[in-house]
Amino acid sequence: MTEIRFDRAPRFAELSEWLQQLAADYPELVTLEVLGRSHEGRELWIATVTNTATGPHDEKPAVWLDGNIHATETTASVALIHLLHRLCTGHGNDERVTRALDTRTFYIVPRVNPDGAELALGEVPFVVRSTVREWPRADQADGLIVSDIDHDGRILQMRVPDANGTWKASSADHRLLVPREPDEDGAGPYFRLFREGRVQNFDGVNVPVAPPIAGIDSNRNFPYDWERYPGNAPTGAGDHPMSEPEVRAVVDGVTARPNITAYFAYHTFSGVHLRPYGNKAQDAYPSVDLWTFQDLGERYTALTGYPSISILEDFRYDPKSTIGGSGSDWAYDQVGVISWTTEFWNPMKAAGIEDPHPIEWFRKHSIDDELKLLAWVDENVTDGFVDWYAYDHPELGTVELGGWNSSAVFRNPPPHLLEAEVAPHTELAIFQALTAPELRLRDTLVEAAGEGTWRVRVVVENAGWLPTNVTRLAVDRRSVLPVRAHLRLPDGAALVTGTERQDLGQLAGRALKTSGIGMFAFGSDDTSDRVDAEWIVRAAAGAECEVTIRHDRAGIVRTTVVLA
């Protein structure tokens, strides 16, 4: 049997083997399919996970989780395999897992970008943002091309002595570089700092940073607020929304599954849960949606320790810029489901640095913070910081390679911490699934109405925490259908009043009911979580009517009503 491990990121072949093994070992729980294919033709695997003995996957409320849309962010794939493994091994052995798979469905896409991840995980790594497709040009522009030039499996930094350089060695630790003071001049030594790489067509003077030949950022390619050139800066958003086959596969996959109630996109790094929007302030939400996101965010933080924050208000790379075209924004705004981006891993927090801002820390922090991080890396991350060593660069002459090994320190947790980092998020996914709306039969009522007719009432309720519509925005966007009841009459019977199909509206859940003033004796709970469908039927005594009540996001109730 294949050993599934959580102490490293698997290459594509091994990831595929793990998925196929779980599907073979747990056929009653896991169905493995190809959602689509990558730019280079690799399978985009989707695992559908539910207990098929209690009903088909598309008749249960569901959670969608995908990850590793960015090439180097392989922790996302490990987290999703961890979730899949936990669901398989926990069913029948763990009450919450069993209940989740008996009543809900999980759609898991462990690696949205297998092409880019293969480059990142290669013995000689090469880093692209997302897909490997050449964009926006087919030829490599001149300048610094980031790469592993000495083929040691690491992409480090290059420091070059330069009298006009920005950096100097720290007096606290000679390995660290710190900025020169604004008024500092003199002999130095000072350094200019580059990422490790070659300089194509070096003219002997200038070292521009070459734009990547594979410039797509697939998480800017979704069909929400898509722009190729906001302002003057290209974002890697592609030729048009869903121009990338990987993104098209995700969008088609979600929209083909109307039972989805929540969408999670797994990324690294920063150690935060991000709620939409990337381009709108929180007053753009319907109030009830904002309160629901905030309530869920508090629970996520309690489960994982990660802060739950707004993308626009707390996670902007530049206060003048916004983020568009992301998967989580699209899923909330256009599909109308609960939607979050999880950014795994924060090395600064691991090192004991207090409350590092996920973005601003990199722009400015104290030398004490960096020393603390360096001390932690020296103890926990092999080759996390590499002392500088001489290298004969083919264009720049003698340089020094070394410094922060960003892929080992920042992009993903070190292997021995990987499983502990992702495990709480598995429990979060199970929690989120169990908050989904769930239709349940409450009662059937039959009474004789005289002259061979019968009054039939079927009462259902939403036993979930979330309402059947999941978000208010889904109602506003008309992206969700109401609860619908359908009556099938026996032969010889006829309807006296009512229609065979009835639209019953949306049902409330328990969400937010405890945050009001009812508990202080100023109000009362209502029964907006239940509804009844009613018909008058003419039929012989003892006849049986079949009633089906369904909601795309809350499941289905079937019952046989005996007219007696």
Q: Identify the structural domains of the chain with CATH numbers, from first to last.
A: 12-121+216-345+413-434 (3.40.630.10), 143-212+381-407 (no CATH), 439-562 (2.60.40.10)
Would you mind telling me the total number of residues written for the chain in this entry? 564
pLDDT in tens, 482-494: 999 999 999 999 9
Q: Where are the beta strands (DSSP E) in 481-538?
A: 484-488, 494-497, 501-503, 530-538
Say whether 455 sits in a helix, a strand or coil.
Answer: strand
List pLDDT tens digits, range 433-492.
999 999 999 999 999 998 899 999 999 999 999 999 999 999 999 999 999 999 999 999
d(CA 74, CA 559): 46
Sign of CA dihedral 182, 185, 188, 194: positive
More confident residue, 553 or 278: 553
Whose CA is closest to 394, among 166, 122, 145?
145
- How would residue 7 be classed by pLDDT, with cut points 50, 70 and 90? very high
Using alpha carbons only, what angle is made at residue 357 by residues 384 and 291, rounded to the nearest 5 degrees? 130
* d(C-alpha 499, C-alpha 233), whole Å: 57
Residue recorded with tokens 């008749």: 59
| pLDDT value at residue 435 | 98
Give the pLDDT confidence of 275-317 residue by residue, as tens digits: 999 999 888 899 999 999 999 999 999 999 999 999 988 888 8
In the Cβ-directed half-sphere of 89, how many Cα atoms lie within 13 Å?
A: 9
pLDDT of amino acid 432 = 98
pLDDT (mean) for 529-545: 95
Q: Please tell me the distance from the alpha carbon of residue 327 to that of residue 262, in angstroms, as a whole number.
A: 12
Q: Does pLDDT of 136 surpass 80?
A: yes
Q: Which of 24-28, 232-236, 350-354, 375-379 has the lowest mean pLDDT?
A: 232-236
Quote the pLDDT of residue 30: 98
57: left (phi over 0), alpha (psi -120 to 50) or beta: alpha
Confidence check: pLDDT of 127 > 90 = no
- Residues pairing with 180 in the sheet: none
The verdict on whether omega for the bond into residue 413 sits within 30 degrees of 0, i.e. cis, is no
Mean pLDDT computed over 48-72: 97
Residue 518 — very low, low, confident or very high, per pLDDT cuts 50/70/90? low
pLDDT at 519 over 70: no
pLDDT score recorded for residue 533: 96
21 φ, ψ (degrees, to nearest 5): -65, -45
Q: What is the share, in percent, of the chain residues with pLDDT greater than 70?
A: 96
438: left (phi over 0), alpha (psi -120 to 50) or beta: beta
Q: How far is CA 266 from its chain centroid?
A: 4
- What is the average per-residue pLDDT within 231-257? 87
Question: Cβ contacts of residue 443 below 8 Å, gap of 6+?
Answer: 457, 458, 459
The better pLDDT of the pair 232, 375 is held by: 375
pLDDT bracket for residue 213 (50, 70, 90): confident
The mean predicted confidence, pLDDT, of the chain is 94
Neighbours of 9 (CB within 10 A): 24
The C-alpha angle with vertex 446 and arms to 440 and 452, in degrees rounded to 5, equals 145
> Are residues 287 and 88 in contact, defined by beta-carbon separation less than 8 angstroms?
no
Give the pLDDT confidence score for residue 232 in this predicted structure: 37
Q: Which position has the token pair 């609860």?
A: 483
DSSP assignments along 418-441, one per residue: HHHHHHHHHHHHHHHHHTS--EEE
pLDDT at residue 344 greater than cutoff 90: yes
Confidence at residue 270, expressed as pLDDT on a 0 to 100 scale: 94
Using an 8 Å Cβ cutoff, are 463 and 486 in contact?
no
Q: Which DSSP letter does residue 284 get?
A: G
- The arithmetic mean of pLDDT across residues 328-354, rounded, is 97
The confidence score (pLDDT) of residue 520 equals 58
Tens of pLDDT along 158-182?
A: 999 999 999 999 999 999 999 999 9
